[in-house]
Amino acid sequence: MTLKLQMLGTGSAFAKTYFNNNALIMDESFTLLVDCGVTAPMALHRLGQSFDSIDAVLITHIHADHVGGLEELAFKMKMLYNRKMPLYIAESLINPLWENTLRGGLFQEGYITCLEDVFEVHSVEPGIPVDISSGIRAEFIKTEHIPGKNSYSIYFNDRIFYSADMIFAPELLTQLVNERGCEVILHECQLVGPGEVHTTLQELLSLPESLQKRIYLMHYGDDMQSYQGHTNSMQFLEQQRIYEF
């Protein structure tokens, strides 16, 4: 089944022009929000949408550009729309998301005391695909980002790889394409500097053409325009544009 992708933002953690790297994944009747960073509420507002137009949210890791908008989402869903949004998250992230990120703002004695009070929590085991809707299947794949902190990229519908923030993993990309039939790679891209906790453009340019032609670049800096025409066959994802894969 064809999926639609609309990036709410395509920017790195510190980008201002392109917003946080958050996305909407849509089948014919279901909308999944992939990560909900600080800028997600504003990005949705600019699209003329609200959190109530989203059916579920999936979280890859707990940096602010990926979860900083969850407090607003939770409050609005509970107080304005009176429903719990399904939250798809790796089991290893559930406790840190509540205790280290959301508890301070959301906790209200006798009203909101845990993540389950505001979300319908679906704990996902990496490597085991889960059907989120009739047309969206997601498999969490553990990928390396910050030492000691868990981060998960997502393999959608056995053909679309959506990277979280991750260090360069050419073996994984090669395996997905050659052994698992991956058709599209939506990959984070650090444009300048060494790739200590991210994948750099130079590293992606070292991949064979058979992989590069499948790659769309995201999570880039505000200087992206300077790199247009210097990415070989790889393309930059555009904020708000709707893609069909």
- What confidence category does residue 244 fall into, taking pLDDT thresholds of 50, 70 and 90? very high
- What confidence category does residue 241 fall into, taking pLDDT thresholds of 50, 70 and 90? very high
The pLDDT value recorded for residue 1 is 79
Which pLDDT tens digit goes with each residue over 152-182?
999 999 999 999 999 999 999 999 999 999 9
**Joined tokens for residue 91:** 């089991």
Where are the chain's structural domains?
A: 4-239
What kind of architecture, by CATH, is found in domain 4-239?
4-Layer Sandwich (3.60)
* Rounded Cα gap, residues 208 and 216, in angstroms: 15
The pLDDT value recorded for residue 152 is 98
The pLDDT value recorded for residue 131 is 98
Which pLDDT tens digit goes with each residue over 49-84?
999 999 999 999 999 999 999 999 999 999 999 999
Long-range CB contacts (< 8 A, 24+ apart) of 51-55? 51/76, 51/77, 51/81, 51/85, 52/76, 52/77, 52/80, 52/81, 54/24, 54/85, 55/30, 55/31, 55/85, 55/86, 55/133
The pLDDT value recorded for residue 229 is 96
